[in-house]
Structure 1
Amino acid sequence: MIEIRPSLDPELAALITAQQRELAESGIPAGDRIFAPGDDVEYLIGVVNGRAVACGAWQAVGSGAAELRRMYVRPAFRGRGLARQMIVAIEEEALAAGRPLLRLELAAGLSAAIALYQSSGYRQVTSITPGRVRFEKRLAALVQ
């Protein structure tokens, strides 16, 4: 189950802390680990058997665009399709809010994440930041 949660939710904070720890241990530069909760970001939590095990977020940026952020799945729950489900949920929320263009940027060394985004239809675009990879996806409006 995927739920929308407020930025100060304690389960979200625990997931973000775990994400930050994992990034630090993998040598991702500090700038990539900054977490600043805010009202302009919509956070989603993936829950399995009553436990929060995944998170993701989107934030409006520019006209008609949103940035996908804070994707994380606890290691013990990886390989079950939770990240892909989270991406779909984020895309649905962003599209419903009139944001048909999703963007994201991540460290070039996160090969599993890069493969996930590519297999989810995101195309690589030029990044202006060295050591970073930028992706975009234009969402098709749902036909009624």
Structure 2
Amino acid sequence: MFIEERTADDLALIRLLDAAFAELVARYGLEGRSGVGPGAHYLVAVVDDETVGCVAVQTTDVAGTGEVKRMYVAPAARGQGIARALLKEIESRATDLGYDRLRLVTGHLQPAAIALYESAGYRRTEPYGTYADRPGTFCYAKSLAG
């Protein structure tokens, strides 16, 4: 497996994002969809020449804080440590971009994601932004400093 950066118009990335959106809508309905802002940095995981996972980091309205978005691994590739590798690499990329803190959002119907984030050092925070009034939404943050 290797991880590399891709642009938002990359076809393999777009297919993964479409699959991620479909999974979120199946779990949460249309309110499960949220976008990624302009200027986001995308990473993909490639196994045997197949793009199997993605993640992005985007800027926020809080200085020094980036937001993890679109963490997704194709179902056939799950359970192989790909999500953990993507998360570690996006944290490294976020540090390179000048962020000293990351935040993210997941939902109550994603126990594997919750377990991953908590085991990687993310801690629950108060809901923020458009997520503040959404029941079943869990917000997390992690310091990247030191």
| TM-score using structure 1 length | 0.90
* Uncovered stretches (5+) of structure 1, i.e. residues with no partner: none
Question: What is the match of residue 43 of structure 1?
Answer: 42
1:1-144 superposed matches below 5 A: 1-26=2-27, 28-36=28-36, 38=38, 40-61=39-60, 62-127=62-127, 128-129=132-133, 130-141=135-146
**Letter matched to residue 136 of structure 1:** A
Work out whether residues 101 and 145 of structure 2, in 8 Å CA contact, stay in contact via their aligned partners in 1.
no
Give distance in 2, aligned partners of 1:105 and 1:36. Answer: 13
SS in 1 for 2:95: helix
Work out whether residues 7 and 37 of structure 1, in 8 Å CA contact, stay in contact via their aligned partners in 2.
no
Cα deviation, 1:45-83, whole Å, max 9, x if unaligned, reads 100011100000000112100000000000111010000
**Letter matched to residue 26 of structure 2:** E
**Alignment: residue pair count:** 139
How far 1:36 sits from its partner (Å)? 4.8
For the aligned residues, what is the CA RMSD? Answer: 1.4
Cα deviation, 1:112-140, whole Å, max 9, x if unaligned, reads 11111000100011222322100000013
How far 1:31 sits from its partner (Å)? 2.8
Give distance in 1, aligned partners of 2:37 and 2:66. Answer: 16
| TM-score using structure 2 length | 0.89
**Letter matched to residue 41 of structure 2:** E
Give distance in 1, aligned partners of 2:137 and 2:83. Answer: 20
* Uncovered stretches (5+) of structure 2, i.e. residues with no partner: none
